[in-house]
């Protein structure tokens, strides 16, 4: 071994320091930050760790295949969303939700909580906040308030976003069962998120009597939180693909029923200025049909194609025949056949591919970084892997407290719970094993932390700001979401202590 242990620990942490410096200090784009971090990490494992050539190049192959798997999901999800939006289906969903109740606070929770949860469950990767923020503006929220509320909503459902991608891909190489169920249990802390939305809305509208504005909405906000996180927990026993999708559907049905019956609805109706959107109205069944097809195909695909995979020679990776990306595309095809789509299929396909390209490259670069860290132990220097040295830093009795904050940090710097899991899942699992802790519980806690951290994800903040037409407000947005994020994480830790 060329260097003492403490220096190897410092070298192991340097790629993260480079990432943060470029992103936060130099304000470099995420694409270049990821590429430079990859180059830096590659040089480290080559010249300091002296990784063997086979594992060096196989890490590139493995990272690229993992990224391609995610690319199919991103492309399919964007294709599905662009198709339904072009057909007017998204506008009709919003129309029906807006007319459930005249109270502005309830409308915001329906859109920023339930609609975002469903979109996150099917698409993920920053799509919900970018899609809902402009709708909130049209309902009367300020651009800044809309961004903050939309980011708050894109949190609890992230644990099982994009049909379970954060767990399915993020923990792919970790032998631990029960992660989705444990994550759903700790994610019960997310029931408070709708309450934070009302708090932000009170400030955004500059309400004088904020106390009454918030207190009279507390029952509805808490009920909305429960109606999503509790069903999601029970659905997690089916697998990581379904809690956010089916949980949001069950939740909105429950809340629609209670709202129609006047249960938990505020007595004082708060109205806000809004811009009416002229849409071609559809029957409710026609509006939700593509989503029903999506859910059915996901369920069928999970249980029929899920066990089938194809190994890639010389690379420890297998392509699973069940990829949600294909399901999204299949679910979108009937829309072209039976709905009036404003844009041609070829235009939507090209647009979806172009929008998927940069996320694919970022995920590819970071996936390769992770693989290099994992395989760096196969070297001629005698050093342990980078992951082992990082795990040594957090290998204390306080690991359960550190874990969700680590997950949140990963989402903050990468904009993705999936990449956060790829970055930190392995060393958390190693540290948990060495400490005799339940690995699946620790990874479930990390996954919930990554979900909460999605509120402060820099990439999502920039995306949401762009769609509402504001720039350079990142600090104000972070001030609006950082306290809810920290409270969410602390409550998840409390749930772990209660249930351990």
Q: What string of pLDDT tens digits covers the 500 residues of the chain?
A: 578 888 999 999 999 899 888 877 888 887 898 899 999 999 999 999 999 999 999 999 988 887 887 778 778 877 887 888 888 887 787 777 677 788 889 999 999 999 899 888 877 766 788 778 888 887 888 999 999 999 999 999 999 988 888 888 888 778 778 899 999 999 999 999 999 999 999 998 888 888 889 999 999 999 999 999 999 999 999 888 889 999 999 999 999 999 989 899 998 888 766 655 566 688 888 888 988 888 788 778 877 876 677 777 777 777 777 777 888 889 888 888 888 777 676 777 777 787 778 778 887 888 898 889 889 999 999 999 898 888 788 888 899 999 999 999 888 877 789 888 887 888 899 889 888 999 999 999 999 999 999 999 877 887 788 778 787 787 789 889 999 999 999 999 999 999 98
pTM for the whole structure:
0.79
Q: How many angstroms separate the CA atoms of 90 and 305, rounded?
A: 29
State both tokens at 71.
Answer: 């690319």
Give the pLDDT of residue 273.
Answer: 64
CB within 8 Å of 32: residues ≥ 6 apart: 22
State both tokens at 36.
Answer: 């430079």
Rg (CA), the chain: 22
CB within 8 Å of 276: residues ≥ 6 apart: none
How does DSSP classify residue 176? -
Q: How many angstroms separate the CA atoms of 442 and 188, rounded?
A: 16
State both tokens at 381.
Answer: 């220097």
DSSP string, 25-38: IS---HHHHHHHHH
φ/ψ of residue 141, rounded to 5: -75, 150
Strand partners, 379: 51
3-state secondary structure of 267: coil
Contacts 24+ apart (CB under 8 A), 84-87: 84/290, 84/332, 84/335, 85/131, 86/341, 86/342, 86/343, 86/348, 87/335, 87/339, 87/340, 87/341, 87/342
How does DSSP classify residue 112? I
Residue identified by tokens 């402009």 is 134
State both tokens at 283.
Answer: 């029957």
**C-alpha 394, offset from chain centre:** 24
**C-alpha 375, offset from chain centre:** 26
3-state secondary structure of 4: coil
How does DSSP classify residue 237? G
State both tokens at 377.
Answer: 């132990």
Q: How many CB atoms lie within 10 A of CB 312?
A: 14
φ/ψ of residue 174, rounded to 5: -105, 120
Give the pLDDT of residue 279.
Answer: 67
Q: For 260-294, give one letter per residue: b (16+ CB within 10 A) or e.
A: eeeebbbeeebeeeeeeeeeeebeeeebbbbbebb
Residue identified by tokens 């784009």 is 29
φ/ψ of residue 436, rounded to 5: 75, 25
State both tokens at 9.
Answer: 């620990």
Backbone φ/ψ region at 106: left (φ over 0), alpha (ψ -120 to 50), beta: alpha
Q: How many CB atoms lie within 10 A of CB 201?
A: 27
CB within 8 Å of 166: residues ≥ 6 apart: 124, 158, 159, 160, 240, 416, 417, 418, 420, 421, 447, 450, 451
Q: State the burial class of residue 93 (Cβ atoms within 10 Å of its Cβ: 0-12, 13-18, 19+).
A: buried
3-state secondary structure of 51: strand
């Amino acid at each position: 071994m060329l260097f003492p242990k403490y220096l190897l620990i410092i070298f192991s942490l340097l790629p993260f320091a480079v990432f943060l410096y470029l992103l936060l200090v130099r304000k470099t784009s995420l694409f270049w930050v990821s590429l430079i971090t990859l180059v830096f990490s590659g040089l480290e494992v080559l010249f300091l760790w002296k990784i063997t050539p086979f594992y060096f190049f196989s890490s590139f192959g493995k990272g690229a295949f993992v990224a391609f798997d995610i690319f199919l999901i991103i492309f399919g999800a964007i294709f599905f969303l662009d198709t339904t939006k072009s057909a007017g289906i998204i506008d009709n969903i919003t129309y029906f939700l807006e007319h459930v109740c005249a109270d502005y606070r309830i409308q915001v929770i329906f859109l920023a909580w339930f609609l975002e949860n469903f979109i996150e469950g099917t698409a993920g990767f920053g799509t919900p906040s970018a899609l809902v923020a402009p709708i909130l503006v049209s309902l009367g929220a300020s651009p800044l308030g809309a961004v903050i509320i939309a980011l708050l909503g894109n949190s609890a459902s992230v644990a099982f976003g994009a049909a379970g991608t954060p767990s399915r891909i993020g923990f792919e190489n970790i032998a631990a069962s029960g992660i989705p169920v444990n994550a759903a249990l700790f994610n019960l802390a997310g029931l408070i998120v709708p309450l934070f939305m009302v708090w932000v809305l009170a400030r955004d509208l500059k309400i004088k009597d904020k106390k009454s504005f918030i207190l009279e909405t507390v029952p509805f906000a808490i009920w909305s939180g429960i109606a999503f996180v509790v069903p999601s927990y029970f659905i997690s026993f089916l697998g990581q693909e379904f809690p956010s999708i089916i949980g949001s559907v069950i939740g909105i049905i429950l809340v629609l029923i209670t709202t129609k019956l006047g249960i938990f609805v505020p007595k004082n109706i708060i109205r806000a200025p809004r811009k009416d959107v002229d849409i071609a109205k559809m029957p409710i069944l026609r509006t939700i049909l593509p989503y029903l097809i999506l859910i059915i195909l996901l369920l069928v695909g999970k249980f029929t194609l899920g066990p089938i995979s194809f190994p890639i020679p010389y690379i420890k990776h297998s392509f699973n025949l069940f990829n949600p990306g294909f399901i999204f595309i299949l679910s979108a095809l009937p829309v072209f056949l039976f709905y009036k789509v404003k844009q041609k299929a070829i235009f939507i396909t090209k647009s979806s591919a172009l929008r998927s390209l940069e996320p694919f490259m970022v995920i590819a670069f970071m996936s390769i970084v992770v693989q290099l860290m994992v395989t760096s132990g196969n070297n001629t220097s005698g050093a342990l892997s980078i992951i082992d040295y990082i795990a040594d830093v957090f290998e204390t009795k306080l690991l359960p407290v550190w874990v969700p904050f680590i997950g949140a940090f990963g989402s903050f710097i990468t904009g993705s719970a999936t990449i956060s899991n790829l970055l930190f899942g392995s060393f958390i699992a190693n540290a948990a094993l060495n400490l005799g802790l339940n690995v699946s519980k620790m990874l479930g806690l990390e996954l919930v932390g990554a979900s909460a951290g999605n509120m402060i994800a820099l990439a999502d903040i920039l995306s949401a700001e762009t769609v509402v037409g504001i720039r350079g407000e990142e600090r104000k947005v972070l001030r609006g979401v950082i306290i809810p994020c920290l409270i969410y994480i602390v409550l998840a830790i409390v749930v772990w202590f209660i249930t351990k």
